[in-house]
A and B are shown apart, each in its own frame.
Chain A
Amino acid sequence: MGLNVSDLTIARGGIKVLEGVSFTLHAGSAIVLRGPNGIGKTTLLRTVAGLQPPIDGRVEADPDSLVYSGHADGIKATLTVSENLTFWAQVFGEADISNAIKAFQLERLASRPAGALSAGQKRRLGLARLLVTGRPIWVLDEPTVSLDVEAVGMFANAVRAHLARGGAALIATHIDLGLPEAEVLDAGQFRARAAALDDFDEAFL
Chain B
Amino acid sequence: MIALLTRDLRLAMRAGGGFGLGLAFFLIVVTLVPFGVGPQSELLARIAAGILWLGALLSCLLSLDRIFALDWEDGSLDLLATAPLPMEAIVTIKALAHWLTTGLPLILAAPLFALLLSLPEAGYKPLILSLFLGTPALSVIGTFGAALTVGLKRGGLLLSLLVLPLYVPTLIFGAEMARRGVEGLDFTTPLLMLAGITCGTIALLPFASAAVLKVNLR
Do A and B pair up? The answer is yes
Which residues 41-99 of A have a CB within 8 angstroms of B?
46, 49-53, 64, 66-79, 83, 87-88, 90-93
Contacts of A67 on B, CB cut-off 8 Å? 82
A51 in contact with B80 (CB, 8 Å): no
Given A50-B82, A52-B218, A91-B83: A70 and B75 interface contact (C-beta under 8 Å)? yes
B84 in contact with A91 (CB, 8 Å): yes
- B184-209 interface mask toward A, CB cutoff 8 Å, 1 = contact, 0 = none? 00000000000000000000000000
- B7-33 interface mask toward A, CB cutoff 8 Å, 1 = contact, 0 = none? 100110011110000000000000000
Given A51-B217, A72-B75: A92 and B81 interface contact (C-beta under 8 Å)? no
A72 in contact with B3 (CB, 8 Å): no
Does B157 reach chain A (CB closer than 8 Å)?
no
A51 in contact with B218 (CB, 8 Å): yes
A68 to B83, CA, bound (A): 9
A75 to B76, CA, bound (A): 7
A92 in contact with B83 (CB, 8 Å): yes
B75 in contact with A73 (CB, 8 Å): yes
A53 to B81, CA, bound (A): 13
Contacts of B218 on A, CB cut-off 8 Å? 51-53
Give the residue name and chain of the B residue nearest to A66 (CB): B82
Q: Number of B residues contacting the other chain (C-beta, 8 Å)?
A: 25
Given A51-B217, A79-B7: A68 and B78 interface contact (C-beta under 8 Å)? yes
Give the residue name and chain of the A residue nearest to B71 (CB): A74
A87 to B11, CA, bound (A): 12
A87 in contact with B3 (CB, 8 Å): yes
Give the residue name and chain of the A residue nearest to B78 (CB): A70
Contact of A87 among B7, B74, B75, B217 (CB under 8 A): B7
Give the residue name and chain of the B residue nearest to A78 (CB): B14
Contacts of B217 on A, CB cut-off 8 Å? 51-52
Contact of A49 among B11, B17, B76, B82 (CB under 8 A): B82
A88 to B85, CA, bound (A): 11
Give the residue name and chain of the B residue nearest to A43 (CB): B218
Which residues 83-118 of A have a CB within 8 angstroms of B?
83, 87-88, 90-93
Given A91-B3, A92-B83: A75 and B78 interface contact (C-beta under 8 Å)? no
A-B CB contact pairs (8 Å), 14 listed:
A51-B218, A73-B74, A74-B78, A76-B74, A78-B14, A79-B7, A79-B10, A83-B7, A87-B3, A91-B4, A91-B85, A92-B84, A93-B84, A129-B79
Question: Which 6 A-B pairs give the minimum distances between C-beta atoms?
Answer: A72-B75, A90-B3, A74-B76, A78-B14, A52-B218, A74-B79
Interface residues of A (CB under 8 A from B): 46, 49-53, 64, 66-79, 83, 87-88, 90-93, 129
